[in-house]
């Protein structure tokens, strides 16, 4: 799945990321939490790639690598566009 985040959705995702950091690292420095909260605000559009591993004829490693290949191709396309 590809999830495109624009505008206020980026800030909302940052709030979720900050909350997860707080849960994972209760003693995290405020600067670290701010960095995570604002992480998605650095770009005008964020594309999240979500991979779901399923039991199928395709091996797990192939399913994981296909999501990685999708990410790599997104990076190459973004770089080509400048």
In this predicted structure, the answer to whether residue 82 has a pLDDT above a threshold of 90 is no
Q: What is the DSSP letter of 56?
A: S
Task: Supply the pTM of this predicted model.
Answer: 0.74
| Averaged pLDDT, 20-27 | 93
d(CA 64, CA 66): 5
Helices (H), 1-82: 8-24, 30-38, 60-80
User: Would you mind telling me the total number of residues written for the chain in this entry?
Assistant: 82
Q: How do residues 36-77 score in pLDDT, each as one tens digit?
A: 999 999 999 999 999 999 999 999 999 999 999 999 999 999
| Averaged pLDDT, 19-43 | 93
| Averaged pLDDT, 16-31 | 93
pLDDT at residue number 5: 96
């Amino acid at each position: 799945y590809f999830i495109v985040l624009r505008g206020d959705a980026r800030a909302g995702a940052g709030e979720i990321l900050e909350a997860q950091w707080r849960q994972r690292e209760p003693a995290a420095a405020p600067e670290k939490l701010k960095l995570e909260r604002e992480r998605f605000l650095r770009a005008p559009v964020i594309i999240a790639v979500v991979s779901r591993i399923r039991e199928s004829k395709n091996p797990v490693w192939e399913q994981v690598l296909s999501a990685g290949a999708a990410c790599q191709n997104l990076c190459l396309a973004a770089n080509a566009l400048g």
